Structure 1
Amino acid sequence: MHTRFLAAVVLAAASVVGSGQASAAACNGYVGLTFDDGPTTKTQSLLNALRQNGLRATMFNVGQAAAANPALVRAQVSAGMWVGNHSYTHPHLDQMARAQVDSEISRTQRAIAAAGGGTPKLFRPPYGGTNATVQSVATQYGLRQILWDVDSQDWNNASVDAIVQANGRLTNGQVILMHDGPANTLAAIPRIAQVLASRGLCAGMISPQTGRAVAPA
């Protein structure tokens, strides 16, 4: 009886592994889920929800928040997320002088690296505010500027339904803007996973070369 039980457990485990491989192979496109403005008091809950639903994402961290919460930056990496640069104090970079832009970007690179997040390769300007100077400084630090194809509007109190529907508009290679903090965004995670899976899309990494979502390396 005991032997038969063990055999059943092994078979069940094998079927779970097999189904995971099957769903991984079923990806016929990749999308870039991004969450700005972390780390926050909600970061761990967001990471838990993403992991529970088999999703990976790029976390565009604010430098001063990363410096203040290094354990959460490490938690992002441990959860399989990618960490990007979102400036140090979240200003309108396109309204600043080059030296100020340089400070905002360089301090964030150092803060994230010091917190254990690695050296970011991706950069998102706050509010999407960019210009030739911002782009030039980002390039100087080896950063690829990433904006977005779809805005979830979660920063504008979008409902859970609206956030899920925004994710449902993504096509292969596209990137969506979301944020670390809104309760509706957190609540939407399980349904985001479902809507992507129903369309054969998987959560991928954003390529530093092209700025498009691709299969995780």
Structure 2
Amino acid sequence: MLLSFLLPAFFLSASAAPSLNSRHHGHEHRIVQRLPSNEWFHPRDHPVHRLFRRDADTDGISYAQVGSSTWAAPYPSSTPDVSQLPAAWTDALNAAVQAGIIPNIPQSTSPTPDTNPVYPDGYDPTGPDVCSGTYKCRIPGNIWDAPDGFLGTGFDDGPTTASPALLDFLEANNETVTHFMIGVNIIDQPDSFTRSVELGHDIAVHTWTHPYMTTLSNEDVLAQLGWTMQLIHNSTGGRLPKFWRPPYGDTDVRVNAIAKEVFGMETILWNQDTEDWSLTETGGTTAQAINASMTTWLTGSKTPGLIILEHELSDESVQAFEAAYPVMKSNGWNLQSVAQLAAGGQSAYQNAISIDAGSVTPADIILGDALTTLSVSSTTTSLPSSTSSSFSSRTTS
């Protein structure tokens, strides 16, 4: 089945993914580099909401029921085919490239599994021209730290078969968190996705199939972000996520600019890593090691606040969070969904007050100075028909 949408061409001026089954984290790195504190981006209306259709209460569109075959059919089954991208997205990307606001740096490569991506000679991943998150370089505006005294709560890689237990625990303790979700996993676990939404948790983008993003072409980056954003949008009454998290923390100035300039999304990373993804791996971390790390972090300084990388990837990773939760509370941390912290206490969505607010309207977000309006017309683009599969069984971040 084909799902077509109206895509007004009011745009910005603006390979295949690596195997997931062989990838491991590698979050901890020795090199730390920060960019100067001046910001790239400035507040202004962003036309990203016109790249996607909005809720029925604003444009009369009725979306397919989440979990139905009609709902799942239009989306890629695995790594997206860039020849099947909606014209609105590629037009926006091309305009951004032509305007010079997508940095022209080469893709990284991953020479062997379980190693960090590397750049060609002459491109320093810790310098401002590349600024790779894998090497802990901080692009201005990206979120790495919570405010003093706060702990930004969030979980990567959902939804999975471990998500129901996590959602039960969060509901019992009246906690709201951010779920950084993988597109194919939403297709595979629609009930847990729907329950996360119904409980009022914030939904953010964690790409379609969890690749190292800096190894991808511009078009592949576009596909990984766009399809995940489209699925979340069409499954939440038209809400556009404001935030994304790069798998493995692997972003750079090029990938960051595509997320920002084409889709209006900010990047959230972390300042502590449990490595809980490896709890089920041979030679991976242990519950005892995570407990020791959590105790050190949670009883230590509250400056800056904490953003701890955790996953809803396995029963063991969920249990590690449950074990640490009393320590978080007893040490006086103010727990808050990391997306809401990143938004300054405002919505985690670009065009709605919250996940359960009835009105879905465009919102001001941050973008680059070089954007211009190209045209105002209508086009219709059809999406490819396919089925989806889950990537919940691989090692991820």
TM-score (normalizing by structure 2) = 0.44
Asked if 1:100 is matched to 2:216, the reply is no
Q: In 1, are the aligned partners of 2:202 and 2:339 still within 8 Å (CA)?
A: no
- Aligned partner (choices 326, 330, 335) of residue 198 of structure 1: 330
Residues 82 and 165 (structure 1), Cα distance of their counterparts in 2 relative to 1, 3 Å cut: farther
Q: Distance in 2 between matches of 1:112 and 1:167?
A: 32
- The partner residue of 1:127 within 226, 248, 254 is 248
Kept in 1: contact 2:272–2:308 (CA 8 A): yes
The residue aligned with 1:32 is 152
C-alpha spacing 1:121/1:173, structure 2 compared with 1 (3 Å): farther
User: What SS does the aligned partner of 1:179 have?
Assistant: coil
Taking the aligned partners of 1:122 and 1:162, their CA distance within structure 2 comes to 30
Match of 1:52 in 2: 172
Deviation at 1:167, TM superposition (A): 3.6
> 2: CA distance between counterparts of 1:139 and 1:114?
20
1:160-203 Cα deviation digits (max 9, x unpaired): 33334444415353211111122222223333221111111132
State the SS of the aligned residue for 1:138. helix
Preserved CA contact (<8 Å) 2:171 2:199? yes
Note the 1:165-176 alignment, pairs <5 A. 165-168=292-295, 169-170=297-298, 171=302, 173-176=305-308
- Ranked by relative contact order (alpha carbons within 8 Å, sequence separation 6 or more), the top structure is 2
Q: Distance in 1 between matches of 2:240 and 2:164?
A: 21
Q: Distance in 2 between matches of 1:201 and 1:195?
A: 9
Alpha-carbon offset, residue 122 of structure 1: 1.1
Choose from 249, 262, 272 the match for 1:150: 272
Map 1:12-31 onto structure 2 (within 5 A): 29-31=149-151
TM-score computed with the length of structure 1 as normaliser: 0.77
Shift of 1:57: 1.7
Q: Which moved more, 1:31-40 or 1:160-169?
A: 160-169
- Counterpart of 1:113 (choices 233, 245, 257) is 233
Matched with 2:287 is 160
Query: For the pair shown, which has the larger CA radius of gyration, 1 or 2?
Result: 2
- Count of residues paired in the alignment: 188
Matched AA of 2:278: N
Distance 2:294 2:176 in 1: 14
Gaps of 5+ in 1: 1-27
Query: Is the alpha carbon distance of 1:131 and 1:63 closer, same or farther for their aligned partners in structure 2, counting shifts above 3 Å?
Result: same
The alpha-carbon deviation at position 92 of structure 1 amounts to 1.0
Q: 1:68 to 1:115 in 2, by over 3 A?
A: farther
Task: Name the CA distance, whole Å, in 1 between partners of 2:315 and 2:196.
Answer: 18
Query: Residue 99 of structure 1 aligns to a residue in which SS?
Result: helix
Query: Any conservation in 2 of the 1:60–1:123 contact (CA below 8 Å)?
Result: yes
Per-residue deviation, 1:205: 2.4
Is 1:178–2:321 an aligned residue pair? no
Separation (CA, whole Å) in 1 of partners of 2:216 and 2:321: 35
| Equivalent AA in structure 2 for residue 103 of structure 1 | A
1:114 CA drift (Å): 1.9
Shifted more, 167-176 versus 44-53: the winner is 167-176
**TM superposition shift of 1:207:** 4.8
Aligned to 1:16: none
Distance, in Å, in 1 between the alignment partners of 2:189 and 2:158 is 9
Shift of 1:216: 7.7
C-alpha RMSD of matched pairs (Å): 2.4
Is the partner of 1:195 in helix, strand or coil?
helix
